[in-house]
Amino acid sequence: MLKTAVITDRDYLKHFAGRSHPERPERLQAMIEMVNASSRPGLQVRAPREATIEEIELCHVHEYLKLVQQTATVDRFDFDPDTHASRESYHTALLAAGGVITAVEAVMDGAADNAFAIVRPPGHHALPNRAMGFCLFNNVAIAAAWLIKHRGLKRVMIVDWDVHHGNGTQEMFYKSAAVLYASTHQYPHYPGTGSLREIGAGEGEGYTINAPMPADFGDDEYLRVFDDFILPIGRQFKPEFILVSSGFDCHWRDPLAQMRVTEEGFVAMTRRVKRLAAECCEGKMVAALEGGYDLEALVNSGHAVLEELGRFADEPIHSAQQGTAVMPIIERAARNVGRFWNLA
């Protein structure tokens, strides 16, 4: 089995967004219990560290950081109708960003083959200057920027299979050729971004690849997008590290969306990303928890991904044979970025 570092902590339960809020502490409680019950060989459970101010400011402007800091002085702060903070949220958000960096450090330093950062609050909607969509700091984006600044990497790939488009992550690297951002998401759906026309700008043109899909698509369609669109571009990009924004809200049980992905679908996507990492960057990859709001689906899917991370990359991958309904989307997406990548 491969060595997988799991980065998590009960301190993630301290962020409280509201009594009826879907992004609730019970999500992490259930995931921690799943990890503690696992007997998987090669599992290393590690505590996260807080991200530093300098690390947060790799992706967020100073004025916004100060605003989040100030929420530690009040019982409740509302950034928008969906995104709230309590007194403990600022430090919990620092721990979430730092948890993904902790996972990246473990893999980069050779202490683990790969890692799963089970953190909250999630991050991929957080913009440089504002909170959004339950997210305060953009955990995965900060880790990508950290790899570039502090470890000197030139090419980092972010795969985002959360059901909602990661508008914050996209915006942070929209003009950068150092980060390839690839997103599968329900569309139209919150937050309204992630259309086929959004492919990056300036030096980053062609380095944002979106696969917006209608409701009710499931495993077959997702795997077809991976096999025919995301993975071929990933192989040409040759990432030195792969980060996964691992939201489990595209599961068929999730209450906030209408996709049909199963636990087996998450395993198959993980296996594909793991194979790409083995081909391009000696297996260096970290998954970080984003969404997922049905506790049963969250735990079962998280467990499936954790088990798959432990398997060697030479496990067989069966190409997607079904999912033909997604082919028009793939063909349009390929035309939009065809001058940057060979998708023949």
Mean pLDDT on 287-313: 97
Q: Residue 118: what pLDDT? A: 99
DSSP track, 219-244: HHHHHHHIIIIIHHHHHHH--SEEEE
For residue 55, report the phi and psi dihedrals to the nearest 5 degrees: -70, -40
Residue 315 has pLDDT above 90, yes or no: no
Q: Residue 313: what pLDDT? A: 84
> Which residues make Cβ contacts (< 8 Å) with residue 217, sequence separation at least 6?
186, 259, 260, 323, 325, 326
Cα-based distances in Å from 53 to 137, 140, 211:
11, 16, 34
Residue 339 has pLDDT above 90, yes or no: yes
Sign of CA dihedral 79, 83, 85, 90: negative
Cα-based distances in Å from 86 to 49, 138, 208, 220, 262:
20, 18, 34, 40, 34
Q: Residue 320: what pLDDT? A: 81
The predicted model scores a pTM of 0.98
CA–CA gap between residue 319 and residue 330 (Å, rounded): 16
Q: Tens of pLDDT along 166-179?
A: 999 999 999 999 99
Residue 341 has pLDDT above 90, yes or no: yes
CA–CA gap between residue 101 and residue 192 (Å, rounded): 29
Q: Tens of pLDDT along 110-169?
A: 999 999 999 999 999 999 999 999 999 999 999 999 999 999 999 999 999 999 999 999
CA–CA gap between residue 50 and residue 158 (Å, rounded): 22
Residue 317 burial by Cβ neighbours in a 10 Å radius (0-12, 13-18, 19+): middle
Q: Tens of pLDDT along 69-119?
A: 999 999 999 999 999 999 999 999 999 999 999 999 999 999 999 999 999
Q: Tens of pLDDT along 225-250?
A: 999 999 999 999 999 999 999 999 99
Q: Which residue has the higher pLDDT, 10 or 344?
A: 10
Q: What percent of the chain has pLDDT over 90?
A: 97
Looking from the CA of 244 toward its CB, the CA atoms found within 13 Å total 29
Amino acid at 254: D
Helix (H, G, I), strand (E, B) or coil at 302: helix
Which parts of the chain fold into alpha helices (H)? 25-37, 53-56, 62-70, 89-108, 139-150, 167-172, 219-225, 231-237, 263-281, 295-310, 327-337
Return the active site residues. 125
Average pLDDT value over all residues in the chain: 97
Look up the CATH superfamily of 4-337. Histone deacetylase domain (3.40.800.20)
Report which of 197, 120, 134, 203 is spatially closest to residue 166, judged by C-alpha positions.
Answer: 134
Residue 321 has pLDDT above 90, yes or no: no
Residue 115 in tokens = 């890692």
Q: Residue 314: what pLDDT? A: 83
Q: Enumerate the domain spans of the chain.
A: 4-337
Residue 344 has pLDDT above 80, yes or no: no
Q: Residue 319: what pLDDT? A: 82
Give, for 211, the enclosing helix (H) or strand (E).
strand 208-213
Mean pLDDT on 305-323: 90
Contact, 84 vs 250, CB < 8 A?
no
Using 50, 70 and 90 to split pLDDT, how confident is the model at 316?
confident
Report which of 75, 140, 152 is spatially closest to residue 286, judged by C-alpha positions.
Answer: 140
